[in-house]
């Protein structure tokens, strides 16, 4: 393994320097992109936030992971410290491409790219100027809008997760360099097993409803808990962490729903689909509170479908388009716990409907397949590297 970076050393080099405000080991989209870049036989240095003394291997050929200390707190001070850390680390690194895997690393990566006369890539995995955190906080939205407006047009290539976000970026920032890479996972052997039933000791007659991913504000957590109050013969499993996990656990206990709702820590990305495939239904229930959610196509949607699990979701345009077109589940009004409970009950009590939805997931996998999405990612990258 190449040791690209040690603080205080002379400048080092990599073909691609890749930065993420978080732990790359837990980020499915980042891992997919890194494996694709590795397939091009590129040397890649990845910066994330964590314990610098924690030496971890991403188990991807030619990829080295370097943690920077995660600053305390949140808000502007947190992001300022993050920016300073990335600027300091990047001054020792010479690359052909600097890849900002989120908006928060984009200013530092732009500075490095300009200094080294290299290419800049930005993955707008969210519509950062319209996130839930900016709801009723116009100063927050204004600040990130200013950051994105200043730096996004410096990028040689911009990626995003849905066509709606791509259209928004093209229109508002006058970009012609935006490419859509959907969050489609690599194909894996995800034959339904008994992972969840074994883990929780569930009888075979109980249907498993799964919500995977972090529990965060505006993701419909309370509505999903309330829906289970009116749902029979099913268990809801929240698989993931997040800032609302403890609060949700308290809500479940207070509601007397401990027997119907269980919690499980996240599993490593390479094990995820084998667990997902053991569920009967998947949930994604984003609140319709901002453009980022309206335009979202989250990882979990494609992961459910790749595992052959039908989906019940909030009626948001991009998500609903896939579910209704391919008939792989149903959509209900965002935030409506009663409607969600009714939809769950109907699906649980109608095995022939679930069977039809499950069979139809194969059609989604043919249309949204990893090979196509990989090409959408790799081709613009190769064009940059060949300039």
The domains of the chain, with CATH numbers, are 12-184+370-385 (3.40.50.2000), 195-366 (3.40.50.2000)
Q: Where are the beta strands (DSSP E) in the chain?
A: 12-19, 44-50, 63-69, 93-100, 119-124, 157-160, 178-180, 207-212, 234-239, 261-264, 281-284, 311-314, 329-332
Q: What is the pLDDT of residues 264-293, one digit of tens each?
A: 999 988 889 989 999 999 999 999 999 999
Residue 221 to residue 32: CA distance in whole angstroms? 28
Handedness of CA 358, 360, 364, 370 (dihedral sign): positive
Residue 136 has pLDDT above 90, yes or no: no
DSSP letter for 15, please: E
Over residues 36-44, mean pLDDT: 96
The total number of residues shown for the chain amounts to 387
Q: What angle do CA 144, 146, 150 make, to 5 degrees?
A: 120
Q: What is the pLDDT confidence band of residue 193, given thresholds at 50, 70 and 90?
A: confident
Helix extents (H) in 100-220: 106-115, 138-151, 163-173, 195-200
Contacts of 271 (CB under 8 A, 6+ apart): none
Over residues 204-231, mean pLDDT: 96
218 to 60, 84, 212, 292: CA distances (angstroms): 34, 30, 15, 11
Residue 138 to residue 115: CA distance in whole angstroms? 33
Over residues 199-218, mean pLDDT: 95
Rounded-to-10 torsion of CA 353, 225, 308, 271: -160
Q: What is the pLDDT confidence band of residue 55, given thresholds at 50, 70 and 90?
A: confident
Q: What is the pLDDT of residues 305-317, one digit of tens each?
A: 999 999 999 999 9
Residue 6 has pLDDT above 50, yes or no: no
Residue 178 to residue 148: CA distance in whole angstroms? 14
The enclosing H or E element of 251 equals helix 245-254
Q: What is the pLDDT confidence band of residue 167, given thresholds at 50, 70 and 90?
A: very high
Token pair belonging to 327: 């008939």
């Amino acid at each position: 393994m190449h040791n690209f970076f040690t603080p205080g050393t002379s400048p080092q080099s990599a073909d691609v320097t890749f930065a993420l405000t978080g732990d790359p080991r837990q980020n499915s989209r980042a891992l997919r992109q890194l494996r694709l870049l590795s397939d091009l036989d590129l040397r890649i240095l990845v910066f994330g936030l964590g314990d610098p003394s924690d030496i971890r291997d991403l188990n991807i050929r030619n990829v080295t992971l370097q943690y920077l200390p995660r600053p305390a707190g949140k808000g502007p001070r947190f992001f300022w410290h993050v920016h300073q850390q990335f600027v300091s680390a990047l001054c020792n690194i010479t690359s052909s491409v600097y890849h900002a895997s989120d908006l928060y690393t984009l200013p530092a990566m732009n500075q490095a790219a300009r200094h080294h006369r290299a290419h800049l890539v930005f993955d707008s995995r969210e519509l950062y100027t319209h996130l839930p955190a900016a709801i009723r906080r116009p100063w927050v939205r204004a600040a990130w809008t200013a950051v994105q407006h200043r730096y996004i047009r410096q990028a040689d290539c911009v990626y995003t997760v849905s066509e709606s976000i791509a259209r928004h970026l093209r229109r508002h920032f006058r970009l012609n360099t935006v490419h859509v890479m959907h969050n489609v996972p690599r194909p894996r052997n995800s034959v339904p097993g008994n992972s969840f039933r074994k883990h929780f000791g569930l009888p075979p007659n109980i249907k498993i409803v799964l919500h995977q991913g972090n529990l965060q504000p505006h993701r419909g957590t309370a509505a999903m808990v309330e829906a289970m109050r009116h749902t029979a013969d099913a268990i809801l499993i929240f698989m993931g962490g997040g800032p609302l996990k403890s609060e949700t656990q308290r809500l479940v206990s207070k509601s007397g729903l401990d027997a119907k709702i269980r919690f499980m820590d996240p599993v490593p990305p390479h094990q995820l689909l084998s667990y997902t495939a053991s569920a009967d239904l998947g949930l994604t229930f984003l609140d319709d509170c901002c453009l980022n959610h309206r335009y979202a196509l989250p990882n979990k949607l494609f992961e459910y479908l790749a595992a052959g699990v039908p989906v019940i979701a909030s009626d948001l345009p991009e998500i609903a388009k896939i579910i209704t077109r391919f008939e792989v589940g149903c959509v209900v009004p965002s935030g409506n716990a009663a409607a969600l409970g009714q939809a769950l009950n109907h699906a649980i009590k109608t095995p022939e409907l679930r069977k039809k939805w499950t069979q139809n997931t194969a059609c989604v996998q043919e249309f949204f397949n990893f090979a196509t999405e990989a090409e959408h990612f790799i081709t613009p990258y190769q064009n940059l590297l060949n300039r």
